[in-house]
Homo-oligomer: A and B are copies of this chain.
Amino acid sequence: MVDVPQLVEQARQGRPRAVARLISLVEGAAPELREVMATLAPLTGGAYVVGLTGSPGVGKSTTTSALVTAYRKVGKRVGVLAVDPSSPFSGGALLGDRVRMSEHASDPGVYIRSMATRGHLGGLAWAAPQAIRVLDAAGCDVILVETVGVGQSEVEIASQADTSVVLLAPGMGDGIQAAKAGILEIGDVYVVNKADRDGADATARELNHMLGLGESRAPGDWRPPIVKTVAARGEGIDEVVEALEKHRAWMEERGVLARRRLARAAREVETIAVTALRSRIGDLSGDRHLDALAERIVAGDTDPYRAADELVEGLTNGA
């Protein structure tokens, strides 16, 4: 048996292996999952969660790494959660990037964790918030959640951060791709990385236009800034941090941060509840109830809606 309270205590003392162990427990839906979450509950809420998303190749990992450096300089403890299959954190990138990240890997003030994007019960939408809770309870001041903006669940994770950063790079037709992927509207801060390349100004202008940033807003409304960076050289990173802090201050001033966290918690509960119900359906499937319904549908004896009614009745009567 795992001694959960001891593990949590060690995590709070800053022991990386305890943090890693706890994340593995919640990620793997271990029997101890519920005890872990219950123990963590009163210890969370201190971290500022920043989501970073964008298409592959815009430089998310490099930017994340540069932000880690910036926050470490001012003594913040930083957690990194990479749910991007192309991220060096999660193991899919070039050696150069990997080497660059390894500097943080040996820093005791930085926790780095990657998550697989496939094969999880209920997907990332379910596991990522739990990993964030572990990092939060372990005393991280800032948690950077890096997701690739391609799948619905990744976009959801990014949009549920306290502050969402959307990254673009010049010359990738990125504005249109981002719009299609549904990530364009979720940014609180926009970063045009690789700004030393041709077309950076055009990308920023296009973005400014697509977001309607030139239009007037009600006083006090948040106007998402567009920051140009060359993350590989650390250029513009201080400006990104400044933009993040401004957004955080704005949210706190207006009660937006509290509302976002409530919405995030509600969403999290809903996801867990739906996953639980789905797994009960899976159990029914095991005893051939679902298969029998499918046979009747294919035979034309019933339709999917009546069959679903039967299934739900079975569930809600404790079958």
Contact = CB atoms under 8 A, between A and B. Distances in A.
Nearest to A262: B294
A273 interface: yes
A295 interface: yes
Interface stretch (A12-20, A199-207, A215-223, A298-306): A298-306
Contact of A316 (B33, B34, B42, B316): B316
Interface in A263-319: 263, 265-266, 268-270, 272-274, 276-278, 281, 285, 290-291, 293-295, 297-298, 300-309, 311-312, 315-318
Contact of A274 (B129, B153, B278, B300): B278
A258 interface: yes
B180 A315 contact: no
A276 B316 contact: no
Contacts of A272: 304-305, 307-308
A265 B294 contact: yes
B37 A265 contact: no
> How many copies of this chain are found per oligomer?
2
A150 interface: yes
Interface in A73-109: 85-86
A258 B295 CA distance: 10
A273 B151 contact: no
A294 B263 contact: yes
A214 B312 CA distance: 46
A234 interface: no
A262 B151 contact: no
A224 interface: no
A42 B278 contact: no
A305 B151 CA distance: 25
A266 B285 contact: yes
Contacts of A277: 274, 277, 312, 315
Contacts of A37: 303-306
B304 A262 contact: no
Interface in A179-193: 180-182
Interface in A25-83: 33-34, 37-38, 40-45, 56
Given A43-B300, A269-B293, 11 more contacts: A37-B305, A150-B150, A152-B152, A261-B298, A265-B297, A265-B304, A265-B307, A266-B291, A269-B308, A270-B281, A270-B290
